[in-house]
Structure 1
Amino acid sequence: MSRRMSMLSIAGGAALWGIIGLFVTYLYEFGFTPVQVVAVRVASAAVLLLLYTYFTSKQSLRIHWKDSHYFIGTGIISIVFFNLCLFIAMDETSIAIAVTLLYTAPAFVTVFSRFLFGELFTGSKITALFTTLIGCALVVGLYPYTGFELSVYGVIAGLGSGFFYALYSIFATYALRKYSSVTVTVYTFVFASVAILPFAGLGSLSSAFAQPATWVNIIGIGLFSTTLAFLFYTKGLEKVESSKASIIATIEPVVATLISFFVFRELLDSWQIFGFLLVITAVILVQERSRPSFLKRKVS
């Protein structure tokens, strides 16, 4: 896969994340809590990924258990905790503030990548980073500011969601030095499922599970907004720096906003359209040619 195709792969994964609201909305109507939605999301993805990999590439299921710390990182520390922090932030503040705080992730990744991988702070990367943050704030409606009662606990949780979201790129980068993108994605969700399922209380949803529509949305969230999204995103990390990947992935809130307009008929104002253009501009800014992928290095 070329570097340009890797960027498109990351953008495609982010777009699939952006349509998750289509499935989550209906699962909430069936009585699911946020934690339960996270649980069915990671569990359905784990099952789909295991089946797909078993029939297409059995060797990709082989790992050394001494490397489990990589998947504890991607699956538990990142996927589980970023979702939980995000839901807390949404409850304590607002969706606009929570989503904006989530997209502080590129700032965390850029700093981490400088010290962990030696990725330089280039002018275009810094410009794209600030352009993205401003664009996201406009898209989700944080600016113009209309007055929010901020919860310190909620703000900390929101920053935590950005922190843990950023860690997926970092942990996945290390794991990709030894394993394929398929292997990394499979075991990310296997480990996440093992961690969260015992605490999700899915047994209380027996009536919801009896409805076919519930399973349609579980498969939707598991296949499109999780399995394919993470496969595309993780595959893209093989050729794209993690700091750039996290900036490209901010296409997600733009897609989510467009879905809310075309599906739920929520109008886009001029500020949101401007924010959309800023995020697209940031994606273009990070498409510069860089040195060979750091994935070619050996793990010490």
Structure 2
Amino acid sequence: MSRMWAILFVLIGGASYGLISPVVKKAYEAGYTPGDVTSSQYFMAASLLLVIAAFQFRHVKQLKLRDVLLFGFLGLLSSCTSVFYYLSLSDLPASLAIVLLFQFAWIVMLIDFVMTRKKPNRAKWAAIVLILAGTVFAVDLWHTEWSGVSMSGILLGLLSSVTYSMFLYFTSYVRPGTSPWVNSAIISVAATVAVFFVFPPTFLWNGTLWDGLWVWALIIGALGQVIPPVFFNIGIPKVGGSLAGVLGSIELPVAVVAAFFLLREHVVGVQWVGIVMILLGIVVSELRMRARNKDAAKA
């Protein structure tokens, strides 16, 4: 697979995450609770991935104990990110919660430095600055109501950023050649078990699932637990965890645009400026990487 295809897969995975927020709001408007939405989406995603993985059973024999442990760890990180973020949203303005989540743009870079001792180049620093500045503009922080901000909500928001950063980075450790569908099925099952400890699956016996919740669970599960893990498993081992943190920033522009079209939320000019800055940050990082690769090839 070419590098450009790998980048496209990571971008699609990040964009899929960006569509979750407006769809979740629609589910809440339909009368479903955060617990029902969260646990049912993981259950539906795990069921779907297990069915698909069953047709690729031959790939299971290729897995090693290291692979299974890694996928279980990634599943735990995925569930922690969802739980921390959804709980932070219950205590914080949405704009502040997403700013805290988007600290993964530099946390991934910090994890990469700790793990490899490789200092970020100037292009990566420029990309991070553009992304963080663009995030501030994109959520229009100046018009957010800050009175009575919850410290526990801030802590939960930061924890969601840390666990998401770790998920992005350690996905780069997935061994090439393994099936992304089988990998994602294991990740999803581990995440579902972890989520059920926080949000018990009451929808399974109270009739909520077949009363319409299954539609939202299927859509949100596909956007959050099927498409991103599969596409990240394909793309991140090729591009690396550090660049994946930059590419994953596509989530915020997609979230803002989706809210504009799906929820008819008002988006002011400064937010569009922020979206452009985030996209520029992604482009700056990748163009510098391509230039460096070409120079190395000529040497």
Q: Structure 2 length as normaliser, TM-score? A: 0.87
Distance 1:119 1:50 in 2: 38
Asked whether the 8 Å contact 2:93–2:145 carries over to 1, the reply is no
Aligned pairs for 1:279-298 within 5 A: 279-287=278-286, 288-289=289-290
Amino acid at match of 1:190: V
C-alpha spacing 1:46/1:24, structure 2 compared with 1 (3 Å): same
Asked whether the 8 Å contact 2:169–2:244 carries over to 1, the reply is no
Work out the number of aligned pairs and report it. 289
Aligned pairs for 1:90-239 within 5 A: 90-143=89-142, 147-176=146-175, 179-203=178-202, 206-211=206-211, 213-239=212-238
Determine the structure 1 residue equivalent to 2:36. Answer: 36
Per-residue deviation, 1:67: 4.6
Ranges in structure 1 where 5+ consecutive residues have no aligned partner: 292-300
Distance 2:26 2:157 in 1: 24
Q: Which is worse superposed, 137-146 or 257-266?
A: 137-146
Q: Which is worse superposed, 236-245 or 58-67?
A: 58-67
Asked whether the 8 Å contact 2:36–2:202 carries over to 1, the reply is no
Q: After the TM superposition, which parts of structure 1 deviate over 6 Å for at least 4 consecutive aligned residues?
A: none
C-alpha spacing 1:60/1:33, structure 2 compared with 1 (3 Å): farther
Per-residue deviation, 1:95: 0.9
C-alpha spacing 1:169/1:178, structure 2 compared with 1 (3 Å): farther
Percentage of pairs with the same residue: 24
Amino acid at match of 2:10: I
Distance 2:170 2:160 in 1: 15
Q: Which is worse superposed, 90-99 or 20-29?
A: 20-29
Per-residue deviation, 1:180: 4.2
User: Deviations for 1:139-172, whole angstroms, at most 9, x for unmatched residues?
Assistant: 1222466544332222121111110101102332
Name the SS of the counterpart of 1:171 in structure 2.
helix
C-alpha spacing 1:137/1:54, structure 2 compared with 1 (3 Å): same
Distance 1:176 1:219 in 2: 29
Asked whether the 8 Å contact 1:35–1:84 carries over to 2, the reply is no
Amino acid at match of 1:48: L
Q: Which is worse superposed, 140-149 or 265-274?
A: 140-149
Asked whether the 8 Å contact 2:41–2:216 carries over to 1, the reply is no
Asked whether the 8 Å contact 1:21–1:256 carries over to 2, the reply is yes
Q: Note the aligned Cα RMSD (angstroms).
A: 2.3
Amino acid at match of 2:272: I
Determine the structure 2 residue equivalent to 1:274. Answer: 273
User: Deviations for 1:25-50, whole angstroms, at most 9, x for unmatched residues?
Assistant: 24324543323322222221111111
Distance 2:235 2:142 in 1: 32
Distance 2:166 2:26 in 1: 29
Asked whether the 8 Å contact 1:54–1:61 carries over to 2, the reply is no
Distance 1:233 1:174 in 2: 11
Determine the structure 1 residue equivalent to 2:296. Answer: none
Amino acid at match of 1:202: P
Asked whether the 8 Å contact 1:88–1:154 carries over to 2, the reply is yes
Determine the structure 2 residue equivalent to 1:295. Answer: none
Distance 2:100 2:240 in 1: 22
C-alpha spacing 1:118/1:177, structure 2 compared with 1 (3 Å): farther
Amino acid at match of 1:268: V
C-alpha spacing 1:39/1:224, structure 2 compared with 1 (3 Å): same
Q: Are positions 1:45 and 2:63 aligned together?
A: no
Greater percentage in helix: 2
Asked whether the 8 Å contact 1:110–1:243 carries over to 2, the reply is yes
Distance 2:49 2:39 in 1: 15
Asked whether the 8 Å contact 1:18–1:225 carries over to 2, the reply is no
Determine the structure 2 residue equivalent to 1:248. Answer: 247
Q: Structure 1 length as normaliser, TM-score? A: 0.87
Aligned pairs for 1:36-75 within 5 A: 36-55=36-55, 57-62=56-61, 63-65=63-65, 67-75=67-75
